[in-house]
Amino acid sequence: MSGDARNESAYLSGPIQREKFPRRARLLRHADFDEVYKRGRRHFCVHMTVFYLGREQEAGMRVGFTVGKVLGGAVVRNRMKRRLREAVRLEGFRPIAVDVVINPKKSLLTAEFPELRKEVGRAFQVIEQKLSEKRNP
C-alpha cells in the first residue's frame, strides 16, 4: 500500500461534519404528542400521516415520530425513525411555531429515500401554508 493510499483512507474515515437534529427541534414529552393528536390537524401522504398543531409561544418547528409495534419489530421501527429523522434534517426546519408528529405507514420501508425526502418537504410546505392562512385570513 502506498503512502498516498494510506492518507486517502485516513481522510475518508475521519469525522464528517454535518448538521444535527437539535434537542430544541424535537418533540419529546408525551403530553406534547397527546396535544398534537387531540387538538391538531392532519395531512395525509402516501408513506405517512403528518399531525400538526400551531403554537402561539416559542418560534421554531418541533418534530416527533411515532412508529407503532404493528409496523414491525424494534429493528424495523428504528430504521423507519432513522430514515424519517434524516429526511426531516435534510429538508430543514421551517421558522414557524408548530409541533409536528409524523406517523409512518408500512410502505415507508420500501420507498426510495429521495421520494421520502420530497414527501416530507411537501408536507412541511402544506403545513406552513395552512398555518399562514389560519393566522392571516
Contacts of 119 by beta carbon, 8 Å cutoff, 6+ apart: 45, 46, 47, 48, 87, 111
Q: Confidence band (pLDDT; 50, 70, 90) for 18?
A: low
8 Å CB contact between 132 and 98: no
pLDDT in the model for residue 19: 61
pTM of the predicted model, to two decimals?
A: 0.81
pLDDT in the model for residue 21: 76
8 Å CB contact between 79 and 109: yes
Comparing C-alpha atoms, which of 128, 127, 101 is closest to residue 29? Answer: 101
Place of cell 418534530: 63
pLDDT of 23-71, one tens digit each?
Answer: 888 999 999 999 999 999 999 999 999 999 998 877 789 999 999 999 9
pLDDT of 83-128, one tens digit each?
Answer: 999 999 998 888 888 999 999 999 999 999 999 999 999 999 999 9
Give the torsion sign (CA, 106, 42, 120, 16): negative
